[in-house]
Amino acid sequence: MEVEILEEKEKKIRFLLKDAKTQFANALRRTMIGKVPTMAVKEVDFINNTSGLFDEIIAHRIGMVPWKFPEEEYRLPENCECDSEEGCPNCRVEMVLKKEGEAYVKAKHIKPTDKKVTPVNPDILVIKLLEDQELELEAKAVLGTGKQHAKFQAAVASYKYYPEIKVNGEKVENSEEVAKVATEKVKNADGPIKVDESILYSLRNTIDIEEGDEIEYLEHRDKFLFEVETVSGIEPRKIVRKAIDIIEEELEEFENSL
Ligand SMILES: [Zn+2]
């Protein structure tokens, strides 16, 4: 297997996975979405809430805030050595929020005891307080996975088979771009077909072809185009890495249990 990074941004990575099986590509996708642990608030204790919103609604909103956290330092509660309901500094973070008077209460006003834990977006709005209102609460954040609850989902990940386009038998450089605008007629054809007016019209801005040329659309069943966008506090590249580690661990566990 081989990986080629095509594009890497703060929130998104696109890469090509070569010489792989569909089963592996699928396992990788599902692991990135469902098994990479992220941090979110699990429990909220209200000390005072005279705002216009019910406790449950505020708790839900706080629960949806994604957090950046030092990944090596925290464990999933079920994997933590403390083995307790209460948790310990390795598997949970205490947070407090106290605000009164007219204010927009945002994610940045929730203060974790661990300073290395910060909201991905400090400006996520939790609630707007009016002049005579007050909100005070304590919260506990833990690691969890997308499989357990959507609020723990690390990434949105998808893949498709890598397209290859040939014109008169010659591979086109920008196949991916051409594939995006190619019509069903081209994509579903069995082998090369003659370029007609409608094909020419759909592809005219992406490749240099003429009516009567032969075009062929191929899909590589062992080459996958991945797109991974983080929706958590973990960078896209780290999500891919972590997913690979998890798959490895699972295989090892399976081997050991045999
Ligand atoms: Zn613990």
Tens digit of each residue's pLDDT (9 = 90 or more) over 68-104? 999 999 999 999 999 998 999 999 999 999 999 999 9
Residues 143 and 162 in one domain: no
Q: How far is the CA of 36 from the centre of ligand 1 (A)?
A: 18
Alpha carbon distance 226, 15 (integer Å): 5
Which uninterrupted H or E stretch holds 19? none
Report CA-CA distances (Å) from 194 to 18, 38, 212, 232. 30, 51, 5, 47
Read off the pTM: 0.84
Residues 67 and 135 in one domain: yes
pLDDT band at 145 (very low <50, low <70, confident <90, very high): very high
Residues 81 and 122 in one domain: yes
Alpha carbon distance 160, 74 (integer Å): 33
Please indicate, yes or no, if residue 233 is contained in any of the structural domains: no
> Which burial class, exposed, middle or buried, applies to 174 when counting CB atoms under 10 A from its CB (0-12, 13-18, 19+)?
exposed
Query: What is the average pLDDT across 192-204?
Result: 93
Amino acid, res. 104: Y
Q: How far is the CA of 77 from the centre of ligand 1 (A)?
A: 6
Domain of 116, CATH number, reads 2.170.120.12
Residues 130 and 167 in one domain: no
Whether the predicted pLDDT of 128 surpasses 90? yes
Q: What is the DSSP letter of 53?
A: S
Q: How far is the CA of 143 from the centre of ligand 1 (A)?
A: 11
Q: What are phi and psi of 74, to 5 degrees?
A: -115, 150
Max Cα–Cα distance, the chain, nearest Å: 76
Q: How far is the CA of 219 from the centre of ligand 1 (A)?
A: 47
pLDDT band at 223 (very low <50, low <70, confident <90, very high): very high
Instruction: Print the domain residue range for 132.
Output: 39-148
Report how many domains make up the chain: 2
Torsion from C-alpha of 134, 45, 230, 146, nearest 10 degrees: -150
Residue 85 has what pLDDT?
87
Residues 179 and 196 in one domain: yes
Alpha carbon distance 215, 205 (integer Å): 15
Q: How far is the CA of 196 from the centre of ligand 1 (A)?
A: 66
pLDDT exceeding 90 applies to what percent of the chain?
91
Residues with CB under 5 A from ligand 1 (ion): 80, 82, 87-88, 90-91
Please indicate, yes or no, if residue 249 is contained in any of the structural domains: no
